[in-house]
Chains A and B, each alone.
Chain A
């Protein structure tokens, strides 16, 4: 069992300076997003279009996926279907094994993280090099990404310098980002040149054309794909959109929401293998159809993984991605992960104040905070909350439904707080009191006052 989000977040907060820095860095990204959004008067309209297109697509997923398969196959692409993570990994493993390959590069794909592809291949003696700079850094450190767009955002340049010193032999104590990036570039170039097989994610797959789009800022998807003789694109079933003309809506929203850029530096379109190359697409379900069947949660599948909800989330910013103990952290992760494993992720829908900022930034209008609320109901129903919490809730509900009992409990409670305050001032038993004073307990409730004063 994972430690809970609350425990991991508490550990993260032990270093307040780092927490502040994490918060400020991501808030800066959120502000860039605001600036980029506010210069487009049609922003809210774009969000509505994107949401409508996704709604329509999710309702006709079977049709568009079949169309995509047919077009892609006609383009000379080999299409594979994976029911779950194990399937996905096995399909990729088979392609690698059949060709007897060993030099593999990958360009950021959260789906392969979700499926734990790296671990799986490593156990079979195959190494995959992540080529996104941030991903490579966390890969060196044997950590998962802590953010879906900025995977190493939890690390400072000092941490990166130490990591590179250990793995790339850079100078100790040299924190110059230019110097460090250069070292990574040289290292990665080598890997690109040697690569025989490139795995990429898929941001959007177009049913009409059978092609797909990968968005990166470093060009690493292109570098990998262009030098390898095999390209495998991995996509979740929800990445499909009906027509090429819909793409513009999403690419305009994606980069602005993610980093405040008008568009990603590289928006690469792939349609067919070039002569002599092989191209595969693995289309993965891994619980997505189950989520599609959960009416309250289906529209979480509209997500385009821009991470705007991470950057705006005041809890994420102060707890770090690893506290969510899953591949996709943040608010969206908290509504996707209970679908993958409800018991292991029962804590995540509670790792939110339900402030609603995530819902407001989401470019495809996912009602994230409402879904968090709904997951809480499902999780309580399934008996996945601590029994002590359940009993205190039951007790509270009992008292609050009975006005006279409520009045007695209220004045008794206030009396205890005034006269036996040591009882509530035990930090280990009362988390409120650990870093906060209790409110004063007045002698008179409003009701008491009202009875005496209403006529005056």
Chain B
């Protein structure tokens, strides 16, 4: 199984350890991983700011890098959602279509494609799960509190396979953390307040670590917690699923 590893730009630059964990985890599970060197960004920052018209270059680049693999996997729900919904290229519509339908967020890939039932990971800590909105409501990684439908959670199911890990959900299980792309700077006050509230719920559960499938949410929460001098850390779910004895 040829898996193209997509490492979104800001993870590549600021959170290489998340990328390394994803790379190692997929390797351990037996995937043949290809990391195309020319990849950059999915184009979401422009599109969500109203400039989808400017993301053509990113689309072209993405297609050039990721054609010819069986699956594309990324440790970021929101980038995956962007590609799924908006990747387009007039010159190579078939490739774009293939990519849109074969790109997976990491936990979704592990659950739905790899059909993982056990993991050798161990992480003896109390962990709070932050459901990212794009992962949850966009990619349907877990059930949503607004809908009348059966409950499930792909990331929680994976975390429950990790030995020693104690999983805690916040009281509002799927409220947005307030990152929201450029929202975090253009609506700074509300964005920070949303983050503060999210952290408060997790900290009232006394968690050691807040985890999730989107580095962007975690980066925002981390920024607020560091400023407050909080002891709670953030870790991407790939880092936890990849941790060993």
Contact = CB atoms under 8 A, between A and B. Distances in A.
Contact of B57 (A360, A398, A435): A398
A352 B180 contact: yes
B161 interface: no
A6 B12 contact: no
Interface stretch (A96-104, A239-247, A373-381): A373-381
B41 A446 contact: no
A251 B219 CA distance: 43
Interface stretch (A39-47, A86-94, A129-137, A143-151): A39-47
B223 A318 contact: no
Interface stretch (B120-128, B189-197, B204-212): B189-197
A350 B183 contact: yes
B223 A9 contact: no
Interface string A420-456: 0000000000111011111111101111111000100
Contacts of B50: 350, 376-377, 379-381, 385
A158 B136 CA distance: 40
Contacts of A5: 187
B2 interface: no
Given A318-B193, A437-B227, A400 B9 contact: yes
A319 B182 CA distance: 17
Interface stretch (B66-74, B96-104, B109-117, B145-153): B145-153
Contacts of A16: 193
Contact of A436 (B56, B133, B220): B220
B188 A435 contact: yes
A437 B228 CA distance: 9
Interface string B11-55: 111111101100100000000000101111101011111111111
B188 A353 contact: no
Given A37-B148, A435-B227, A356 B20 contact: no
Contacts of A351: 187
A397 B57 contact: yes
A351 B53 CA distance: 21
A403 interface: yes
A35 to B, nearest CB: 11
B52 A377 contact: yes
Among B13, B16, B17, max chain A CB count under 10 A is at: B13
Contacts of B147: 44, 360
Contacts of B19: 446, 449-450
A282 B33 CA distance: 65
Contacts of B146: 34, 312, 357, 360-361
Given A37-B148, A350-B187, A393-B46, A410 B12 contact: yes
Interface stretch (B87-95, B162-170, B171-179): B171-179
Nearest to A453: B20
A118 interface: no
B189 A355 contact: no
Interface string A306-318: 0000001011001
B187 A446 contact: no
B58 A414 contact: no
Given A319-B190, A437-B227, A380 B60 contact: no
10 contacts: A41-B148, A315-B194, A377-B52, A385-B50, A393-B54, A394-B51, A402-B57, A403-B38, A435-B188, A437-B226
Interface of B: 7, 9, 11-17, 19-20, 23, 35, 37-41, 43, 45-58, 60-61, 133-134, 137-138, 144-149, 172, 174-176, 178-195, 197, 219-220, 222-224, 226-227
